[in-house]
Amino acid sequence: MHTNVRNSHEKINLDELLVPNLSLASLSSINTGGSADLAAFPTDFSELRALLDYAKRYSLPITILGGMTNTLISDEGIEGLTIITSHLARRHVQGEMFCVRSGLALDRVIDFSLEAGLSGLELLGGIPGSVGGAIYGNAGANGMAISDLLYYVDYMTYDGKLHRKQAHSDEFSYRHSPFSGRKDIIIYEAGFRLNPTLHTSEAKKQKDEVKHKRKEKGHYENPSLGSIFSNPPEGYAGKFLEDCNLKGKKIGGAMISNKHCNFIINSDGKATSSDIHSLLLLMQEEVLKRTGVKLRPEIQFIGRW
Ligand SMILES: Cc1cc2nc3c(=O)[nH]c(=O)nc-3n(C[C@H](O)[C@H](O)[C@H](O)COP(=O)(O)OP(=O)(O)OC[C@H]3O[C@@H](n4cnc5c(N)ncnc54)[C@H](O)[C@@H]3O)c2cc1C
Give residue-wise pLDDT tens across range 211-253. Answer: 999 999 999 999 999 999 999 999 999 999 999 999 999 999 9
Q: Write down which residue in 37, 54, 87 finishes a domain.
A: 87
| Residue 265 in this model has a pLDDT that exceeds 80 | yes
pLDDT value of position 5: 41
* CA 168/CA 177 separation, integer angstroms: 10
Q: How many H helices and E strands in the chain?
A: 7, 19
pLDDT value of position 58: 96
Structural domain count, the chain:
3
pLDDT value of position 10: 40
| Residue 9 in this model has a pLDDT that exceeds 50 | no
pLDDT value of position 15: 82
pLDDT value of position 62: 98
Cβ of 280 less than 6 Å from ligand 1: no
The answer to whether residues 123 and 16 belong to one domain is no
User: For residue 6, what is the domain's CATH number?
Assistant: 3.30.43.10
Cβ of 85 less than 6 Å from ligand 1: yes
* Complete edge-to-edge strand list for the sheet that includes strand 91-94: 91-94, 97-101, 185-193, 150-157, 162-166
Q: What is the DSSP letter of 102?
A: T
Higher-pLDDT residue of 13 and 302 is 302
Would residue 121 be called left, alpha or beta, if left means φ above 0 and alpha means ψ between -120 and 50 degrees?
Answer: alpha
The answer to whether residues 249 and 187 belong to one domain is no
The answer to whether residues 205 and 296 belong to one domain is no
**Among 31, 64, 69, 165, residue to substitute to test ligand 1 (most atoms within 8 Å of Cβ):** 69
The answer to whether residues 104 and 200 belong to one domain is yes
The answer to whether residues 59 and 104 belong to one domain is no
The answer, as to whether pTM is greater than 0.85, is yes
pLDDT value of position 7: 41
Q: Write out pLDDT tens, residues 79-112.
A: 999 999 999 999 999 999 999 999 999 999 999 9
**Among 84, 136, 175, residue to substitute to test ligand 1 (most atoms within 8 Å of Cβ):** 136
The answer to whether residues 99 and 179 belong to one domain is yes
Q: Write down which residue in 25, 59, 87 finishes a domain.
A: 87
User: For residue 128, what is the domain's CATH number?
Assistant: 3.30.465.10
* CA 44/CA 42 separation, integer angstroms: 6
Output the residue whose Cα is nearest ligand 1's atom 36: 133
Q: Write out pLDDT tens, residues 142-173.
A: 999 999 999 999 999 999 999 999 999 999 99
Q: Which residues are catalytic?
A: 175, 227, 298
Span of 7-11, 259-263, 271-275 with lowest mean pLDDT: 7-11
The answer to whether residues 20 and 102 belong to one domain is no
| Residue 12 in this model has a pLDDT that exceeds 90 | no
The answer to whether residues 212 and 102 belong to one domain is yes
Q: How far is the CA of 200 from the centre of ligand 1 (A)?
A: 27
The answer to whether residues 27 and 130 belong to one domain is no
pLDDT value of position 44: 93
pLDDT value of position 2: 38
The answer to whether residues 95 and 212 belong to one domain is yes
* CA 56/CA 70 separation, integer angstroms: 27
Which residue range(s) make up the domain with 67? 2-87
pLDDT value of position 140: 97
Higher-pLDDT residue of 2 and 199 is 199
pLDDT value of position 3: 34
The answer to whether residues 114 and 77 belong to one domain is no
The answer to whether residues 160 and 271 belong to one domain is no
When pLDDT is averaged across residues 178-194 and rounded to a whole number, the result is: 97
Q: Write down which residue in 216, 242, 271 finishes a domain.
A: 216
